[in-house]
Amino acid sequence: MTGRLTGKVALITGAGSGIGRVAAELFAAEGAAVGVLDVHGDSAEQTAAHVAARGGRASAITADVTAAAEVDGALHRLVAEYGRLDVLVNNAAIDLQGSITTGTEDDWDRCFAVNVKGVFLCSRAAVPHLTAAGGGSIVNHASVAGLVGVRNLAAYCASKGAVISLTRAMALDLAPAGIRVNAICPGAVLTGMMEDLMRARGGGDLAAGMAETLAKYPIGRLGRPEDIASLALHLAGDAASFMTGSIITADGGMSAQ
């Protein structure tokens, strides 16, 4: 590792599993102190323990990104512990399956609460700290599902489209404070979230669902959490100092067709 985040403090939401966990490990390996926020405190503890076992610095934070008081408290605790905040990765999300006719109103509200309002609340709480640090980077994890339609995932698609729009608006509003805001749109990445979707797509058969999905990926494989975490690392660091308002796909060419 090359110490690309040495001296920086990063908060990663939803870092108890999947892409967020791998990002926490990578950021810490690159020198950052990492706040590992998750609604599932035990998962956050496990990620923080993984990081510590490799000699990195991380603190587990149990918080729900949809609860303003919990988010504000989490930011204050992290800054009190490490003295500053340089990077926020808005990664926490849920993917509720259903079309516009089969998805419930509750599913819609929950999807927007976590995936969109969560980004709003965490970013709002982070901005004063990022500003105090002289600027920083916010990385929003959107999805190719915010750029193209995906069957039976209506609320999720709409929520990720909203994250893409919010990214552009935030980039404009926060540029004067030296805060860059970019979004990553991953294609299918093998995590717990994607496994459920693949199984449903294959009518209960995970392998069949994966084969159907893989057929849409020109690069011949699905994504790995590392593919997304390394892009988040690039956006978080100084190498991306001229990037803001960018919406970047990392999808093996899926959305290029």
Q: Which residue sits closest to ligand NAD, CB atoms considered?
A: 18
- Buried b or exposed e, range 40-73, using 16+ CB within 10 angstroms: eeebbbbbbebbeeeebebbbbbbbbbbeebbee
Query: Which range binds ligand NAD by CB under 6 A, 74-82, 90-98, 171-179, 200-208?
Result: 90-98
Q: How far is the CB of 4 from ligand NAD (least distance, A)?
A: 21
59, 66, 213, 249: residue in contact with ligand NAD (rule CB under 6 A): 66
**Is 92 among the residues that bind ligand NAD (CB under 6 A)?**
yes
**Is 166 among the residues that bind ligand NAD (CB under 6 A)?**
no
Total interface residues for ligand NAD by CB under 6 A: 29
**Is 35 among the residues that bind ligand NAD (CB under 6 A)?**
no
Q: How far is the CB of 108 from ligand NAD (least distance, A)?
A: 15
Q: How far is the CB of 253 from ligand NAD (least distance, A)?
A: 15
9, 10, 17, 27: residue in contact with ligand NAD (rule CB under 6 A): 17
Catalytic site residue from 85, 156, 174, 254:
156
Q: How far is the CB of 140 from ligand NAD (least distance, A)?
A: 8
Is 156 known to be catalytic? yes
As annotated, the active-site residues are 156
What residues make contact with ligand NAD under the rule CB under 6 A? 13-14, 16-20, 38-40, 43, 64-66, 91-94, 114, 118, 141, 143, 186, 188-189, 191-194
